């Protein structure tokens, strides 16, 4: 694990930021979560473009050019890897090397968090009190989701609350308090994720994920390779964080001939779907087999979700679904 603060690399126990930093005081910051495949950051440019847009959205200027920030991410990753502390052997997070007995070592994979705050200054909400923006990058071993959750699916609750980033739709701002409380409710109910409903009762996204439905529409979309199925996901206009995994999944779907529609998702529509899944950079594609007290489809991960996940894994250069 290593930390980079304004381009200077530190060991985590030595990394320090000011208590007057506005990220700490007011959640006045934006961030990105990235993972590696084969030791390389996946979709780094897309994440940095989104970071820059998020920052613009709340009027923070990137303190260094985007390309230089990308170089800092890679330099930190290389330093952490060289220090032998960046990654856990795939599938054995927290126990580096423990899976290597008798089998070739799997690539080391890392979790990368890039944060940009408005910086520090005297107390007071006025953004003009801030000095220069602060950038912090964290690299640590990736802890993959247990394979059982891909094989068996997860349950989710629905909750009517605000989304992370409601104050600046589309921006990945650091204030996740509403989402954090929704996730706490989900965990208390034995569920893995909370799906957020907007004031009109539409399903928008998960606390840290986007949501997809697989629907059967026999008569529609003649000519598609798989005319019977459609992939539905809430549109940008719903105020979602436009996920990078969401974009890759949409691409993969079109490659396998499954039409994708960005449409509003009511509760009734969600519960009637043949399959439901969530997507995020760290979790990829996770089947949802239960929502509140309702079973989705057959109550097991569906074939379309599995096929899309397998195609996604191929696209990112990863092996079989864990
Ligand atoms: N929606 C929200 C609110 C998120 O926080 C995240 C990721 O953290 C996502 C969606 C998924 O985005 P991505 O696929 O870019 O990780």
- Ligand 1 pocket, residue 244 CB under 6 Å: yes
pLDDT at 27 over 80: yes
pLDDT interval class at 218 (50, 70, 90)? low
pLDDT value of position 162: 80
Could you identify the residue written with the tokens 């199925």?
229
Q: How far is the CA of 196 from the CAs of 138, 203, 242, 246, 320, in angstroms? A: 28, 6, 15, 17, 30
Candidates 100, 201, 91; CA nearest to 148 is 91
ipTM given for this complex: 0.99
Give residue 102 CA to ligand 1 midpoint distance, Å: 37
When pLDDT is averaged across residues 27-49 and rounded to a whole number, the result is 97
Window from 94-98, 201-205, 272-276 with minimum mean pLDDT: 94-98
Tokens at 31, concatenated = 């961030």
DSSP state of 105: P
- Residue nearest (by alpha carbon) to ligand 1 atom 3: 208
User: Which ligand 1 atom sits closest to the C-alpha of 165?
Assistant: 3
Give residue 243 CA to ligand 1 midpoint distance, Å: 5
* Average pLDDT, rounded, for the chain: 91
CATH fold of 147-315 reads: D-amino Acid Aminotransferase; Chain A, domain 2 (3.20.10)
CATH class of 2-141: alpha beta
- Ligand 1 pocket, residue 241 CB under 6 Å: yes
The contacts of residue 162 (CB under 8 Å, 6+ apart) are 178, 196
pLDDT value of position 108: 82
When pLDDT is averaged across residues 151-180 and rounded to a whole number, the result is 90
- Ligand 1 pocket, residue 280 CB under 6 Å: yes
pLDDT value of position 151: 98
Could you identify the residue written with the tokens 């995020």?
280
The domain limits of the chain are: 2-141, 147-315
Query: By the 8 A CB rule, do 163 and 147 touch?
Result: no
Which of 209, 245, 251, 285 maximizes ligand 1 atoms within 8 Å of its Cβ, making it the mutation to test the pocket?
A: 209
pLDDT value of position 64: 98
Report pLDDT digits (tens) over 72-95. Answer: 999 999 999 998 744 444 433 333
Give residue 4 CA to ligand 1 midpoint distance, Å: 23
pLDDT interval class at 227 (50, 70, 90)? low
pLDDT value of position 97: 35
Tokens at 211, concatenated = 């949501």
């Amino acid at each position: 694990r290593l930390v980079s603060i304004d381009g200077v690399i530190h060991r985590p126990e030595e990394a320090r930021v000011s208590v007057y930093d506005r990220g700490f005081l007011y959640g006045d910051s934006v961030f990105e979560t990235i993972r590696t495949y084969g030791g390389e950051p996946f979709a780094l440019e897309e994440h940095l473009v989104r970071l820059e847009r998020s920052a613009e959205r709340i009027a923070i200027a990137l303190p260094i050019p985007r390309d230089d920030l990308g170089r800092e991410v890679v330099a930190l990753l290389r330093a952490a890897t060289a220090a032998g502390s960046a990654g856990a052997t795939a599938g054995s997070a927290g126990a580096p090397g423990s899976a290597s007995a008798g089998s070739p070592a799997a690539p080391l994979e890392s979790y990368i968090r890039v944060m940009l705050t408005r910086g520090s200054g005297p107390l007071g909400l006025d953004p003009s009190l801030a000095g220069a923006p602060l950038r912090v990058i964290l690299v640590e071993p990736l802890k993959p989701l247990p394979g059982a959750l891909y094989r068996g699916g997860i349950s989710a609750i629905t909750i009517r609350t605000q989304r992370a980033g409601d104050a600046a739709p589309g921006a990945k701002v650091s204030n996740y308090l509403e989402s954090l409380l929704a996730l706490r409710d989900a965990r208390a109910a034995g569920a893995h994720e909370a799906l957020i409903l907007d004031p009109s009762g539409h399903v928008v996204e998960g606390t840290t994920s986007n949501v997809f439905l697989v629907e059967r529409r026999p008569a529609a979309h003649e000519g598609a390779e798989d005319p019977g199925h459609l992939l539905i996901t809430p549109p940008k206009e719903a105020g979602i964080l436009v996920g990078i995994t969401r974009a890759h999944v949409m691409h993969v779907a079109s490659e396998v001939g499954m039409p994708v529609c960005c449409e509003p998702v009511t509760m009734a529509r969600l519960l009637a779907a043949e399959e439901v899944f969530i997507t995020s950079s760290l979790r990829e594609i996770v089947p949802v087999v239960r929502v509140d007290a309702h079973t989705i489809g057959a109550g097991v991960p569906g074939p379309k979700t599995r096929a899309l996940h397998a195609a996604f894994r191929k696209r990112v250069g990863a092996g079989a679904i864990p």
